[in-house]
Amino acid sequence: MRIELAQTNEEIIECHAVMRHLRDVDASTFLERVRSQEKAGYRLAFLRLNGSPVAVAGFRVSENLAWGRHLYVDDLVTLAEARSRGHGAALLSWLDRLAKQEGCEQIHLDSGTEREDAHRFYVRKGFNVSSLHFKKIL
CATH number at residue 23: 3.40.630.30
For residue 137, being part of any structural domain is answered with no
- The predicted pLDDT at position 2 comes to 86
Whether residue 122 has pLDDT greater than 80:
yes
For residue 76, being part of any structural domain is answered with yes
Query: Which distant-in-sequence residues (6+ apart) come within 8 Å of 119 by Cβ?
Result: 111, 129
3-class DSSP state of 129? coil
Whether residue 107 has pLDDT greater than 90:
yes
- The predicted pLDDT at position 1 comes to 77
Report the predicted TM-score, pTM, of the whole model to 2 decimal places. 0.93
Tell me how many degrees the CA angle 59-10-96 measures, rounded to the nearest 5. 25
Domain with 79, as residue range(s), is 2-124
For residue 131, being part of any structural domain is answered with no
Q: How many domains does the chain have?
A: 1
